[in-house]
Amino acid sequence: MPMEIDAKILAGLERIQTATLSLLQQRSHVHGLTPLQIRILSFIRLEEAYTVSTLAKNLGISKPTVSEAVRVLDSKKLIRKKASGKDGRTYSIHLTSKGCKLIEAAAMYDLPLRKTLTFLDGDQKDSLWEALLNLIRIMEEQGLIPHNRMCLTCTHLGKNEHGARYFCRLMQAPLKVSALRINCPEHQAQGAVH
């Protein structure tokens, strides 16, 4: 019996995930880190306001697991902790210059995958990106993954009088599909009180 399209899509996504995890494992080993530690450094590189709790939520793993990984990164002087709570127990995590250099080198683990994307034309990339964003949005709504602060769930996203498919009211500009983002620092969740 032929495989239904939903199962084929999931099988395809699983194969991409396998390739991604394999490349991440190889690169993390080169730098003497675990894949989780590389992922933590990558998150911090994008936005230095993470705590153990926010990292755990975004990575979809337990706080004790993140705490242990952060402890090791701190012992290797790749991060520094900055107290952010009144009681001194809460802290934000920041990259050190050593951590910045390491993650710049390690972050290219996905270069072989990026090269495969060069075989898609612009329209194919736009279609794939839009489909992935919609899938992520639906998975968020179903509670399968944490919130990703993306354009599709932002109160700033709308249409303008010229009928642009995507329009950012904050920037007052139409957005191409390729400009739609995940982890936008200006994101405001739809329905949130401002």
In the chain, where are the structural domains located? 5-112, 120-179
Contact of 146 with 182, CB cutoff 8 Å: no
Q: 91-95 and 167-168: which strand pairing? A: unpaired
Q: Average pLDDT in the 103-112 region?
A: 88
Contact of 75 with 84, CB cutoff 8 Å: no
* CB-count burial class (<10 Å; 0-12, 13-18, 19+) for 93: buried
Task: Enter the tokens of residue 112.
Answer: 């072989």
Residue at token pair 């990106």: 129
Residue 194 confidence class, pLDDT cut points 50, 70, 90: very low
Span 111-151, pLDDT tens digits: 999 999 999 999 999 999 999 999 999 999 999 888 888 99
pLDDT at 193 over 60: no
Dihedral angle over CA of 188, 129, 59, 25, nearest 10: -150
pLDDT value of residue 35: 94
Phi and psi at 95, nearest 5°, equal -75, 145
Amino acid identity at 109:
Y
Phi and psi at 17, nearest 5°, equal -60, -40
Of the candidates 71, 45, 66, the one whose C-alpha atom is nearest the C-alpha of residue 55 is 66
DSSP letter assigned to residue 92: E
Q: Which of 1-5, 49-53, 118-122, 175-179 has the highest mean pLDDT?
A: 118-122
Span 21-80, pLDDT tens digits: 999 999 999 999 999 999 999 888 877 678 899 899 888 899 999 999 999 999 999 999
Into which CATH architecture does domain 5-112 fall?
Orthogonal Bundle (1.10)
pLDDT value of residue 58: 83
Residue at token pair 């498919």: 165
